[in-house]
Chains A and B, each alone.
Chain A
Amino acid sequence: MNPEHIEQNLEQLADAVGSRDSFVNDVMNRIENSPVQPGKKQNRNVAFRRILMKTPIKFTAAATVLIAATLSLTLFDKTVPSVYALEQTVEALNAMRSIHTRIYYPGYQDPVFVWARFHKNGSTEALRVSQSKFAPGDPHDGPKDITWKNNVAQVLLKNKNTVVDIHDQTEAAKVGMLFQELNPKLLVQKLEQMQKQGTAQIEIDQPDEIDQPIIITATLAEENLLLGHQAVILVDQATKLVLSLETLKGDGVFDLKTEHFGMYDFSRIEFFDYNQPLKDDIFSLKVPDDATMIDLATNIVGLSPGEMSIEETAVEVVKRFWESLIEQDYEVAGLMYGGVPAEKLQEAFGEQPESKILKVISVDTVKIHPNPMFKNKAFLVPCTIEYLEEGQIKQKTYNCIVKEVDGQPGQWAICGGI
């Protein structure tokens, strides 16, 4: 199957799916014999009354039967789910104090686990995020644990054995916000609001069976970072609590998945354990004794543009990082690389005489990082370096990510890609 000939492939598929000459007749015969016929919605009690009065029985007898029948119909109706509306879920979620969430992305080996505790007013009290194995080739920092409490965030980068403390209230709030938006109550409220504004079309499919979830399909006029352009929410019929959220994203302009920029065109979030007690220690990181600590509150890292454009600053940061490594100035290299301690870089680049950086061959044109989460405040800087490995000269190309430093507006430093 050649993807370039997609129309031809679709035509062949349609032939294979096939149709049957007598299919329409068969369906029409079945509906002819169907006990339920559509038409204007009827009040079942009225219809029943009409049938009852056609029978040759006295009015008094009919009245007695009618009372019994009405009673039985009323009782019967109680077993049928009441008509669902989004506000029922918002109301049910008013009592939410804690939740466990799992986020699934295609290509990732494990879900991202999130635990959250909420104040009585619904605001987030504490968060814990745990990301384990990532897909091969992913440029992220690898497995990490994040805690967020009292507007202080701590990130443990497990592969790098490094802890980043984010004390700056504004920046910590941003970290918190990333995950607070996973609050199912906020999600449903957002949908309600968008529906009122006419920016989301919402369809609700409420099955007759009480054990089947209600399916809410929201089609958004404009793609939303969290909800994508289409979102499907499953709601438990009995409790009205949200069970899962599936989102479709992507506009086909660039393929985030292929580029491994951390955004995916499909994700699934499952919500579990509403109001199950969570121990305090889940919201504190267990920091290994030998972990490197990066405190973004005390070190001024990276470069500020001064006379340069931001793009030129990004290039300069990358050049200075590599040149500092060549000169074995690990202090400066660390500052260019988001505040990584000098000893850490020395350990990585300077302790094997037969393995070292020799020269910067090229630094190419800067591109804005396409991940919308960076809101155009991050760049990709492609660069090629020459290095010595076990006595052999080799070359390698990196796509360094340079962004504005969290908590240090106006400072730009490398945050990944190496």
Chain B
Amino acid sequence: MKQSDAELVQEILAGNKQAFALLVARYERPVRAVAISIVKSSHTADDIAQEAFVRSWQQLPNLRNPKVFGSWLMKIARRCAIDSLKKQQSLKYSDSLDQMAAHERNGRLDEKKQHLLETIQKLPKSERQVVMLRYFGPHTVRDLADIVGSSVGTVTKQLSRAHKRLRSRLQEIE
């Protein structure tokens, strides 16, 4: 049985740093995905993801409800990505445009994937979290239920609603 986010947060606050490594491994891809959805570059996303984890580590004592660690971390990731975007925009004036363009091209997802990623970000919070953990991490539905502290039935329902919503939003675009 997987330890829930809340249990890991409590262990970290009690001084077990290795528990944080488990959270980093669990949320690496979801955090990267949030970053890519905003900055649209996987190169920059790596730095943003690291920064988001460091900030979450530093601010962990301020997290009032450890159960919401996942969504709280995503908010931090969003903030880091937006900060990075602002920095990039001011840097654009000093960088060579060719260099910037080449860099951006290499790290970009294709248009359809980028669109799917942005659509995921617009899902209701609970659905977004289970989708990101299910597909961006090696977690079974049972694991997900343990991680988010819900029943398997609730998680299954959330996943199925998320699929339906994503399908219908993608059909609108197709």
Which A residues are within 8 Å of any B CB, using their own CB? 1, 3-4, 6-7, 9-14, 16-20, 23-24, 26-28, 30-32, 34, 36, 38-41, 203, 205, 207, 215, 217, 219, 229-230, 248, 250, 252, 255, 257-258, 266
Q: Which residues of A contact B29 (CB under 8 A)?
A: 14, 17-19
User: Which of the residues B21, B68, B72, B167 comes within 8 Å of A4, measured between beta carbons?
Assistant: B167
* Contact between chains at A266 and B122 (CB < 8 Å): yes
User: Which among A23, A28, A32 has the greatest number of chain B C-beta atoms within 10 A?
Assistant: A23
- Cβ A258 vs Cβ B172 within 8 A: yes
B50 adjacent to A3 (CB under 8 Å) = no
B46:A17 contact, CB within 8 angstroms: no
Q: Is there a chain A Cβ closer than 8 Å to B142's Cβ?
A: no
Min CB distance, A40 to chain B, in Å? Answer: 7
B170 touches A6 (CB 8 A): yes
For B15, the chain A residues whose CB sits under 8 A away are 39
Report which of A11, A17, A31 forms a contact with B57, defined as CB distance below 8 A. A31
Are the C-beta atoms of A38 and B54 separated by less than 8 Å? no
In the complex, A178 Cα to B113 Cα: how many Å?
39
Additional A-B contacts beyond A20-B46, A36-B57 (4; CB < 8 A): A14-B33, A16-B113, A28-B17, A31-B54
Contact: A10 with B28, CB < 8 Å?
no
A19 to B26, CA, bound (A): 11
- Check if B75 sits within 8 Å of A24, measured CB to CB: no
Interface size class of B (residues with CB under 8 A): 35 or more
Interface residue from B54, B122, B172 paired with A30 (Cβ < 8 Å): B54
Residues B11-62 near A (CB distance < 8 A)? 12-13, 15, 17, 20-21, 24-25, 28-29, 32-33, 36, 42, 45-46, 49-50, 53-54, 57-61
- Whether the pair A39, B13 counts as a contact (CB closer than 8 A) is yes
**Interface status of B92 (Cβ within 8 A of chain A):** no
**CB-CB nearest in chain B for A215:** B75
Contacts of A7 in B (CB 8 A): 135, 163
Report A-chain residues with C-beta under 8 Å of the C-beta of B32: 17-19
Given the known interface contacts A3-B167, A205-B75, the answer about A13 and B116 at a Cβ–Cβ threshold of 8 Å is: yes
Query: A1, B46: Cβ atoms under 8 Å?
Result: no
Total residue contacts A-B, CB cutoff 8 A: 132
Chain B residues within 8 Å of A17, by CB: 29, 32-33, 36, 42, 45, 109, 117, 136
B residues 117-151 with Cβ under 8 Å of A? 117, 120, 122, 124-126, 131, 134-136
A250 CA to B46 CA, complexed, in Å: 34
Contact A27 B50 (CB under 8 A): yes
A255→B166 CA distance, assembly (Å): 12
Per the bound structure, the CA–CA distance linking A316 and B65 in Å amounts to 58
Q: Which residue of B lies closest to A252 (CB)?
A: B164
Residues in B whose Cβ lies below 8 Å from that of A248: 122, 124
Contact B50 A30 (CB under 8 A): yes
The interface bits of chain B over 98-115 (1 if a CB of A lies within 8 angstroms of the residue's CB, else 0) are 000000000001101100
Nearest chain B CB to A402's CB is how many angstroms away? Answer: 28
Q: Is B154 an interface residue (CB 8 A)?
A: no
Q: Let me know if B46 and A28 touch, CB within 8 A.
A: no
Rounded to whole Å, the gap between the CB of A50 and the closest CB of chain B is: 18
8 A–B pairs (Cβ distance < 8 Å), ordered by A:
A3-B174, A6-B166, A12-B113, A13-B33, A17-B117, A30-B53, A30-B54, A219-B126
